[in-house]
Structure formats: C-alpha cells, structure tokens
Amino acid sequence: MTVDHPDADPLESLIARRGEAALETLEELRAADPPTTGGRVLSYVYDSGLEGVDRVAVRAAGLAHGVNGLDPTVFGSVARIHREIVQRVRAILGGDPGDGPDVDDDEVHGVVTSGGTESCVLACLAAREVAGRAPGSGGTIVAPVTVHAAFRKAAHVLGMRFVGVEVDPASGRVSAADLLGAVDRDTCLVVCSASSYPTGVIDPVEQVAAGLDAHHDPRIGLHVDACLGGLVLPFWPGGVGSTWDLRIGRVTSISADLHKYGFAPKGTSVLLSRGRTRHRASWFSTVDWPGYPVVNPTLSGSKPLEPAAAAWAVLEALGDDGQSELVARTARATAVLVEGLSGIEGLRVIDSDPGPLIAVVADGSVGDDQRVHPHLWADECGRRGIAVQAQPAYRQERGSLPSSSHLTITPVTERLTDEILTVARASADAVRGLPDPSPPAAFADVLAALEAGALSPGDLLALPEDDVHAMVSGVLGETGGDDDGMAPLLAAIERLPAEVGGRLVRAYLAAVME
C-alpha cells in the first residue's frame, strides 16, 4: 500500500493513480495491435531490427519533451537539430555545393516536416507561388497516376488541379514523353517518384528534366517524391541504374522521409528546395495581428521537437556506414523474397527497379483453377501472421493496372524470409483457384443500380452523410469478423467510380474510428 506524504499535492496523487490506470489500458490496447517491430507487418512500419536504434530514439524524444518547435529563437536546440538534419539529408541526396551544376541560385535549403504528405503539399505550394498562381486560378500538378495520393490532396487543399498521366498497365512505368506532353501554360509542377509506392519503379527523372529544360518555362518546378526511396536508394548495393536526385540541376525540390528508411519514429520528413526563392515561397509569415510575429516554414505552428530530435539522434548514431549495412540487409531480403514469390504458382511479381518494394499480381498466363487472387492471398497471409497490403485495381483508358498486393521490405525482414515464404506458399495453396472476391452484400443494390444506369455517381455523391454512414455500417457488420479480410471491400472499390469510392472509404474509416 502506498502512503502519500502529508505535504504531497493531492492533485499529483490523483493524477498518478489515474495515469497508471490509463497506461495499463494503453498497454492492453497496444497488445491487440499488430507489432510495429519484428518484421511481420510488411507495410506502414520500417524496422531496423536493432533495439539500440529504438532506444536512442526514445531517449532523444524524452530529452526533447515539451520543447515547442514554433520559435527557434527561444529554443536554440530546434534550430540546430533541424539544420543538421537538413545538412545530412542534403548530402545524401546530392544537394551539397559541388554535387550539382554550377548555376546561379543553386544552393539547396530545407525544412523538417511532420511527414511525407506535408513535404509534398509544401512543394506544391512553393510551385504555385513561384509560378505566380492564385488559389483556384487553374495551376496544375502533372504527375504519373502512380504518384502518391498526397499530390492529389495537395491539389485539393491548394486550389490547384491534378493532371494524372497514365502508365503502362503491364509495368506501371510512365514515359517521359507522356509526362512532358501533359505540360502546358497552366503547369506549375511536374512530379516524379523515386520509388513509386504501388509498383516500385523509379520514374524517368533525367529525361523529364531534359525535356523541361529544352522546351518549357524555367519557373515550372520538377519535384522528386523520394519520401520512400530517399534514404534507401542512395545506399542500394550496386546502385539503381539511374540518376534521380539533386545532382540533376533541373530538379527544383525533393522530399525524403526520415521515419521510413531513416528508421526514425513517426513523423519526420525533409523537403529540400533549390534556391532561396523556392525554399521560402511556401513559408507563411505575418505581423498583421495584435500578437507576436508569426513565421511558419511548415503547415503547423506549434509543433513538438520530439520526432525531429529522435530522427537527428538516429541519423547521428547510424552514420553512413550503419545506413549502408541496414540497406544491404534490406536488399538481400528483397532478393530472396522476389525469387521465392516468383516461384509460387498462380502469382506473378511485377518487374520493378532496384529498391525495397515488391508488388504481386495474379498470373494471367495460367488457368483459372491455378490463379491466385492477390487480395485473397493477402487476407490469408494476414490470418497466418504476416500482414501484406492489398491494392485495388486502377482503371485507365490505356488498360487497367491489375489488383495487386504490396510488400515493403526492411532490414529486419532478412531474419524472417523463410517464415514469410512459408506463409506465402501456404496462403497461395489455400486460395488458389477460388473465384475473385465479391463486394459486400450491403453494396450489392448500389452497384447493381449504378451498372444498370438507374443510379448515377452524382446521385450517390449527393446523398446525406448519414445515409452514406448507414451504408458503410452495414459493410462493417459484414466484414468486421476476423476471417472476412479486406478483399470484399476492395472488390467494391474496384467496381465503383473513383469519386464514389473515395467518399465511401472515407465514411468507412470514419465509422471504424467513431
């Protein structure tokens, strides 16, 4: 029994008791989640496999606890940590003086953001400002349809328009000619991926840069979304076969996430921009209010130092040699898994560029009785303890990208390749020859009405939110069991118009959280 000191603040005692109860509840909640370490979740988490890395991050975050990153003139540690993160990432991505061409205003500057989405939105905002476009004035972002959804979000938030350029349906690759062909007088920014999340390919940055240089307004930005590849591709054994970073002088900005292959905790990313003009174009500043002068280099004002401090400490601890070794482990694991998955009857691994991403589709060269649907396979892998991410098919005029499943490989995966392949083979055996998944019954009437023309996408988009909530609540009831998986919901998404599917999955996630 704990006896409170007579001089103790009674509020401290009350908070201690309630806090202990809250921590016990949190421990129970986390125990029900998939593990974020150990390598059995092949998306969302990036595990170095080294407990020491996590210890450094947790201790650094604790030391930074309570610091407000809003004003580095008050907390000097904010300025130094952010500056040194930018310097390190700039050196990795070829942005140091002497790495690129000797041109005016070529110095590379950067900001530390809360994640890849914020980095991408800021790159689009800077492009709009440099182009002199007002919100809603028709400025466009040109990118392959495989570029991260953050750029569609940026267009929505910034009053711009997203122009998606179709890719080869078999390879997921975009041609430089097609990208450049979509550039016109409204274009503010062209985006390439290194690597593309859905397929693992590296877009043709060099060719796009050359085409922009030769034929287009120099104010048009060229952003490389290296949020995933930025801290893994530069260290990939043997290289990746192309140049895609700031060594290309026409690249005006690049983003790279530290909470991916920098092995830092969520959420830290870096946006690097060429020249002070573009770097500062996305900043917000004002003295037009009665309070303190406000200057925000990122979307947030007040922000914690903990994630950046943890990322800085992990970068310092790893160094280039540690980073190289972790990437080497990732590369070895990727090679073993590509070879093993390629040998599973009914599945096919999409050919991609060097990197840690694997996409798996059904093998169309075999009969229906031998084919393995990747979403059924992903669900079965999950039931057997290996979480694989399912990706819906994507409709294009030149041919759809097929249903696929995605695997993100990290250093810890090297320890688990045998187990992963055992699960992958057993899962394929369990679902081989099964018919393609069907949408949930709760969507059946809607889908039938859409396909018969009795209901239009506009009708669905006009429905009150409560009606949409009722519809997806029915789906939750059908797919909420441990054995149902995500395949039925993805089957519905594949058959729905994109704008309707987007509204329904928004309602679905909201219903889960409510």
pLDDT digits (tens, 9 = 90+) for 420-473: 999 999 999 999 999 999 988 877 778 888 888 888 889 888 888 888 888 777
Residues 334 and 417 in one domain: yes
Q: How far is CA 458 from CA 263, 450, 474, in A?
A: 44, 10, 22
Please report the pLDDT score of residue 219 as a whole number.
Answer: 95
Please report the pLDDT score of residue 209 as a whole number.
Answer: 98
Query: Across-strand partners of 387?
Result: 41
Section 370-387 average pLDDT: 97
CB 407 within 8 A of CB 357: yes
Q: Of 403, 431, 459, which residue constitutes the final position of a domain?
A: 431
Residues 371 and 447 in one domain: no
Residues 424 and 496 in one domain: no
Please report the pLDDT score of residue 104 as a whole number.
Answer: 46
Residues 360 and 461 in one domain: no
CA pair distance 36, 465, nearest whole angstrom: 34
Residues 401 and 473 in one domain: no
Crossing angle of helices 444-452 and 487-495, in 10° steps, is 20
Residues 326 and 398 in one domain: yes
pLDDT-derived band at 8 (thresholds 50, 70, 90) equals confident
Residue 180 has pLDDT above 90, yes or no: yes
Residues 390 and 459 in one domain: no
Q: What Rg value do the Cα atoms of the chain yield, rounded? A: 24
pLDDT-derived band at 251 (thresholds 50, 70, 90) equals very high
Residues 349 and 417 in one domain: yes
Please report the pLDDT score of residue 103 as a whole number.
Answer: 46
pLDDT-derived band at 233 (thresholds 50, 70, 90) equals very high
Residues 332 and 405 in one domain: yes
User: 472 in a domain, yes or no?
Assistant: yes
The answer for residues whose C-beta is within 8 angstroms of residue 416's C-beta and 6 or more apart is 38, 39, 40
pLDDT-derived band at 334 (thresholds 50, 70, 90) equals very high
| Both tokens assigned to 358 | 């694997």
Residues 422 and 452 in one domain: no
Element holding 221 (H helix, E strand): strand 221-225
With a pLDDT cut of 70, the percent of the chain lying above it is 95
Crossing angle of helices 306-342 and 76-92, in 10° steps, is 30
Burial of 35 (0-12, 13-18, 19+ CB in 10 A): middle
| Both tokens assigned to 472 | 């997806």
Q: For the segment 101-141, what is each residue's pLDDT rounded down to a tens digit?
A: 554 467 999 999 999 999 999 999 999 999 999 888 889 99
User: 491 in a domain, yes or no?
Assistant: yes
Domain extent, residue 479, equals: 441-513
User: 276 in a domain, yes or no?
Assistant: no
Q: Of 395, 410, 431, which residue constitutes the final position of a domain?
A: 431
| Both tokens assigned to 495 | 């058959």
pLDDT-derived band at 398 (thresholds 50, 70, 90) equals very high
Residues 387 and 359 in one domain: yes
Residues 378 and 462 in one domain: no
CATH number where 346 lies: 3.90.1150.10
CA pair distance 316, 280, nearest whole angstrom: 27
Please report the pLDDT score of residue 6 as a whole number.
Answer: 67
By DSSP bridging, strand 347-349 and strand 357-362 are antiparallel
By DSSP bridging, strand 347-349 and strand 294-296 are unpaired
Please report the pLDDT score of residue 468 as a whole number.
Answer: 84
User: 380 in a domain, yes or no?
Assistant: yes
Identify the DSSP state of 407.
E
With a pLDDT cut of 90, the percent of the chain lying above it is 76
The end-to-end CA distance of the chain, in Å, is 39
Element holding 349 (H helix, E strand): strand 347-349
CA pair distance 245, 268, nearest whole angstrom: 19
Number of separate domains in the chain: 2
Please report the pLDDT score of residue 4 as a whole number.
Answer: 60
User: 160 in a domain, yes or no?
Assistant: no
Identify the DSSP state of 368.
T
User: 375 in a domain, yes or no?
Assistant: yes
Q: For the segment 205-229, what is each residue's pLDDT rounded down to a tens digit?
A: 999 999 999 989 999 999 999 999 9
User: 182 in a domain, yes or no?
Assistant: no
Q: Of 413, 431, 449, which residue constitutes the final position of a domain?
A: 431
Residue 1 has pLDDT above 60, yes or no: no
User: 366 in a domain, yes or no?
Assistant: yes
Section 361-387 average pLDDT: 96
